[in-house]
Chain A
């Protein structure tokens, strides 16, 4: 079965940085676009970023553009999210998600990692 395991979450002060990781297994990682999606406590889902199979094309939601960077290492089967200039409104569970082979939308999700931005 497809496995996506996020790590790197925790508590950080406003203005700080954090790097999330997602370890992928049981599928050919380099064949799929990948994504980060977040969910603030008690709220709905919000798309954060997408990255192409080879890592050369990326897309971001407006709230994180210029502050977050999505990247990947296909040799290590890993997805990353570098988060800088963090704000209280970035507090959320961050999910790593795989996009299906046809490039439509998310088909598998990790369990998520919680990021809390607070002083």
Chain B
């Protein structure tokens, strides 16, 4: 199975900060990487797929980069509603696997 490792596991940031979350795959997954946001007690929400394609309706402050084994989620200017847990997921090979999550908290 492909292991997905996110870093950091948690971070504290202020409104307006630029936030970067990384995700590393244990083997080459090409562009098959997605990012999800999950607010407490809520269902996950899809943000990005195929590494850098932003889902319709997702604010432009969210972007994704990467290829192969190393990927990044960037929030250009953190907003109050962005405090949540973020998960990466590889969708190129079965079984699909998720990272352990990165919790973004208010500083």
Contact = CB atoms under 8 A, between A and B. Distances in A.
Interface of A: 37, 44-47, 50, 59-62, 95, 100, 104-112
A105 B43 contact: no
B98 A107 contact: no
Contacts of B100: 44
Nearest to B56: A107
The secondary structure that dominates the B interface is loop
B55 A107 contact: yes
Interface residues of B, number: 23
Given A44-B100, A47-B97, A104 B91 contact: yes
Contact of A104 (B1, B34, B87, B95): B34
Interface of B: 1, 32, 34, 36, 38, 43-46, 49-50, 55, 87, 89, 91, 94-101
A41 to B, nearest CB: 12
B98 A105 contact: no
A112 B94 CA distance: 23
B59 to A, nearest CB: 16
